[in-house]
């Protein structure tokens, strides 16, 4: 039996609004799930809207300077090609045979997804195709921005009536970027789940919170501290599928 596969989707966006500062994907939110998935013999393919180099947020490298898992990931010649040579989303969208080998799609965070994946029609279609095929959809921190505008084939919202989490308004305030964001993720997630669903969060900002819904097929994590737990939930979900 071949190893299970996960398609990871990173942002292609590298500018933090009009601040002049760089952004991208957040190192520990990919490195820790990668560590968990790799240890479970799960194979990963990485895509992004534009393909090619997906920009890592420099501040996330600095924040992870004492995090050995992240340092190994960013420096290793084994893992660097994952984010330096991503495949464009267009290779997968509308191509059932291209997504057939994958059990799950996973969106790490960083502020980049707020600007491109949130509004990418290709990303939204790909999520819908994974969902319709009975596969798992997972995201952490700002990664759930990719889910906020996804409609299913019947026109209903992917998240309507679901339980989810993501980077909170309090956490955005504490990093001083509330006014820079194109929208606030917590607000958009609450809007998407509606009155029948729920936005859940840890009792304290920055604490770990992983929410699993839809029979294990919808997995969201609140913040960087939740990244490893999201990886573990993906492994559990894949095992349940196979």
**Interval 23-58: pLDDT, tens:** 999 999 999 999 999 999 999 999 999 999 999 999
Give residue 104's pLDDT. 98
Q: How far apart are CA 153 and CA 241, in angstroms?
A: 22
Distance of CA 166 to the CA centre of its chain: 10
* DSSP H/E element including 171: helix 169-174
CB contact at 8 A, 53 and 84: yes
Give residue 241's pLDDT. 83
Does domain 5-241 fall into CATH 3.40.50.880?
Answer: yes
Where do the DSSP E strands lie in the chain?
5-9, 43-48, 87-88, 102-107, 136-140, 163-164, 198-199, 210-213, 218-221
pTM: 0.98
Residues 6+ apart with CB under 8 A from 171: 205, 206, 222, 223
Give residue 1's pLDDT. 58
Residue ranges per domain, the chain? 5-241
List the chain residues with pLDDT less than 70: 1
Residue 119: both structure tokens together: 């509004």
């Amino acid at each position: 039996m071949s190893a299970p596969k996960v398609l990871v989707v990173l942002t292609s966006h590298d500018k933090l609004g009009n601040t002049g500062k760089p952004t991208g994907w957040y190192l520990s939110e990919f490195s820790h799930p990668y560590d968990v998935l790799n240890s479970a013999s799960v194979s990963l393919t990485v895509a992004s809207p534009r393909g090619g180099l997906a920009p890592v947020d420099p501040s996330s490298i600095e924040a992870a300077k004492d995090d050995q898992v992240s340092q190994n990931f960013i420096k290793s010649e084994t893992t660097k090609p994952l984010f330096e040579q991503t495949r464009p989303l267009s290779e997968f969208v509308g191509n059932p045979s291209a997504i057939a080998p994958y059990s799950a799609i996973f969106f790490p965070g960083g502020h980049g997804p707020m600007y491109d994946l949130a509004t990418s029609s290709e990303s939204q279609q790909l999520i819908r195709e994974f969902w319709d095929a009975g596969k798992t959809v997972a995201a952490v921190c700002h990664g759930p921005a990719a889910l906020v505008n996804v409609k299913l084939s019947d026109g209903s919202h992917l998240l309507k009536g679901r339980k989810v989490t993501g980077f909170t308004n309090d956490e955005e305030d504490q990093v001083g970027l509330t006014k820079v964001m194109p929208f606030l993720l917590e607000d958009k997630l609450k809007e998407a789940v509606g009155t029948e669903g729920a936005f859940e969060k840890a009792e304290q900002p920055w604490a770990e919170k992983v929410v699993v819904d839809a029979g294990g097929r919808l997995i969201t994590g609140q913040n960087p501290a939740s990244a490893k737990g999201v990886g573990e939930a993906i492994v559990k979900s894949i095992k349940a599928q196979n």
